[in-house]
Amino acid sequence: MTKLFTDGLSFALPLLIMAVGAIYSEKSGVTNLAIEGFQGFGAFIGALAAVLIMRHVSDSSQVPIYVAMLFAALGGGVYACLHALLSVNFKANQVISGVVVNILAVAMTTFFTSAANTALTGTASNKFILGVSNRYTIPVISGVPWIGGLFQKMYPFEWIIIVLVIFFWYLMYRTRFGMRLRACGENPQALDAAGGNVVRTRWIAVIISGALSGIGGICFAYSIMANYSPSIYMGYGYLAIAAMIFGNWSIPSTVLVCLVFGMAKAGGQQLCIAMKLSSNYTDIFNMLPYVLTMLLLIFFSKRNHPPQASGQVWDKSRR
């Protein structure tokens, strides 16, 4: 059971921070299918920074991880500017813009990863070897029955993500900026009439979306894969979007959905081990979150209520 909790959280929390980023974008009125691209490009920048730092610190140092998270946020935020420019300023179709941003991110990171490795090592490898982050157990509370398993063998980035989710929940629901952000996605004309800046609000929301997605991507690289490569694009961005939709564009509800997805993935792996199946069957059990997504889509899609202005091009002349 403890293994189920620890592995489930290590998958659910990076997924959650990406879903929170998607919520910010869509709450501002910008449909965002580019989470996958933000995740991959942000993770690439973070991984490159980590590789450069690792050349100057000891192998046991955890500094590269925190540097990677910082640069992944910066890389994801900067790359998100492309989606904001296309969707907000050029008024392009937001769905098409998101798809294009995703495709471009795969092509760019594949090329630049090989180019960077050629320059650094002389080998045109398409991956950065990062290793796996250390895990920590919280004393005392980890021994509490039932909930203690949630505090055993946790990656340090999990606590960072928890703090970030709480902060961005507070920012959205308890601040003036958050009120304007939500108004921007429901009735941008009303926000504009009240003196708010719709364009600036949407830009900030999309950049936040990119930064949080980059953090999620580098966390996946340090936990599940132990390296960065184009395989970081494994549908996790779309799974985060699904979590946002099933969470009805609400951060607290999305937390629960991501936990369900995380436990489903970890449960599938544990089931494979319990049945003593070969590793060839692991991919089949890893499909559980996606199967669960389809089932949830069948039963809950009619109850979802996206922001009314989500996907609508902002036109100041409209009333």
- Please name the residues in contact with 152: beta carbons below 8 A apart, sequence gap of 6 or more: 2, 5, 6, 137, 138, 142
The least confident of 39-48, 87-96, 147-156, 309-318 is 147-156
Q: Looking at this protein, which amino acid is placed at residue 186?
A: E
The two three-digit tokens of residue 141, written as one number:
């509370």
Q: How do residues 282-302 score in pLDDT, each as one tens digit?
A: 667 777 777 877 777 777 767
Is the entire prediction scored with pTM above 0.85? yes
User: Could you tell me the CA-to-CA distances from 213 to 35, 77, 175, 245 in Å, in that order?
Assistant: 6, 9, 22, 16
Share above pLDDT 90 across residues of the chain, in percent, rounded to a whole number:
58
Q: How do residues 273-282 score in pLDDT, each as one tens digit?
A: 777 776 666 6
The two three-digit tokens of residue 52, written as one number:
């450069």
**R_g of the chain, CA atoms, integer Å:** 20
Closest CA to 93 of 259, 313, 315: 313
Is the distance from CB of 150 to CB of 13 less than 8 angstroms? no
284, containing H or E segment:
helix 282-285
3-state SS, one letter per residue, for 3-54:
HHHHHHHHHHHHHHHHHHHHHHHHHCCCCCCCHHHHHHHHHHHHHHHHHHHH
Task: Please give the angle made by the CA atoms of 195, 201 and 203, to the nearest 5 degrees.
Answer: 145
Q: Looking at this protein, which amino acid is placed at residue 185?
A: G
pLDDT of 80 strictly over 70: yes
Compute the distance between CA of residue 227 and CA of residue 284 in angstroms, rounded to an integer.
22
Q: How do residues 102-136 score in pLDDT, each as one tens digit?
A: 999 999 999 999 999 999 888 888 889 888 788 88
Compute the distance between CA of residue 256 and CA of residue 259 in angstroms, rounded to an integer.
5
Domains of the chain: 2-134+147-303 (1.10.3470)
Q: How do residues 180-194 score in pLDDT, each as one tens digit?
A: 999 999 999 999 999
Whole-number average pLDDT of the chain: 88
Q: Specify the pLDDT at position 161.
A: 96
